Amino acid sequence: MVHYQSIQKKVEVKLENQEPATKHQNQEIILNIPSLEPRLKHPTISKTFDELKGGESFIIHNDHDPKPVYYQLLGERGDVFTWEYLLQGPQWWDIRVTKRSALETETIGQIVAKDLRKVEIFKKYGIDFCCGGRKTVREVCAEKGIDHQIVEKELQQPAQNLTGNQNNYNEWNIDFLADFIVNTHHQYIKKYLPEIKGYATKVAQVHGSQHPELIPILKLIKINKN
């Protein structure tokens, strides 16, 4: 926050005077959204995000809360960024968007728990995300002789031809969580419940004797499927 405040003092006046949309201050990009044509606003944000490397960030400077952008990035890119409010009105909203670089340390199980859509990528490379979920992507790729950079790149790409959204509840504010459930969760369930039932059945069969709580969970899933 201290670093941002020093930037803010230098560029606030220029931004409000509709200077060019992209500012570089101390190597951090600031997008002045009100200065862009409406048709260019969302594409510019998406393009800027896609060009970031893991751990890099940019700031969205806007005259209202850009909450729809949060959902757009979440739906198209998945759980690969953080959304940090630096300024919340009443006149200006500033949000720092940071691309995650956690694939180096996250286990496969953690990746799937956050975003079930990533299952399709693991299936493609024959990577076990169930019983082998405690390993990292790099560990499994080394075992299988797969280039981990290729897999990691695909995991960072926007999810296409999939309608569900990722479920990283731990970092969500209550209002985001409520909106997400109302607007998208029903559609997500319809698409993935048959697949979830298959995984729940497998886990209950393999681990049910040691974890009896898995049996009633499987029954609940079967009831919801019907």
| Whole-number Cα distances in Å, 177 to 173, 181, 184 | 6, 6, 11
CB 103 within 8 A of CB 156: yes
Tokens, residue 219:
């029954």
184 or 106: whose pLDDT is higher? 106
Q: What pLDDT does residue 225 have?
A: 59
E strand spans, the chain: 22-25, 28-32, 57-62, 81-88, 93-99
Q: Of the given ranges (34-43, 54-63, 127-136), which has the lowest mean pLDDT?
A: 127-136
Nearest to 140 by CA among 154, 126, 153: 126
Report the distance separating Cα 148 and Cα 169, nearest Å.
27
CB 76 within 8 A of CB 158: yes
Average pLDDT of span 52-78 = 89
Report the distance separating Cα 170 and Cα 209, nearest Å.
29
Q: Of the given ranges (83-87, 117-121, 134-138, 163-167), which has the lowest mean pLDDT?
A: 163-167
Average pLDDT of span 96-110 = 80
For residue 23, pLDDT over 50 is answered with yes
Nearby residues of 73 by Cβ (< 8 Å), 6 or more positions away: 45, 46, 49, 81, 97
Average pLDDT of span 29-51 = 92
Q: What pLDDT does residue 34 have?
A: 94
CB 137 within 8 A of CB 105: no
Return the residue matching tokens 């799937």.
112
Q: What is the pLDDT of residues 165-214, one digit of tens each?
A: 455 667 778 887 777 777 766 666 777 788 788 888 888 888 888 888 88
Q: Of the given ranges (4-8, 119-123, 208-212), which has the lowest mean pLDDT?
A: 4-8
Nearest to 80 by CA among 66, 70, 67, 93: 70
Q: What percent of the chain lies above the pLDDT cut of 70?
A: 77
CB 188 within 8 A of CB 159: no
φ, ψ of residue 57 to 5 degrees: the values are: -145, 165
Q: What pLDDT does residue 105 have?
A: 67
Q: What pLDDT does residue 11 have?
A: 41
Q: What pLDDT does residue 81 have?
A: 86
CA 172 to chain centroid, in Å, comes to 11
Nearby residues of 209 by Cβ (< 8 Å), 6 or more positions away: none
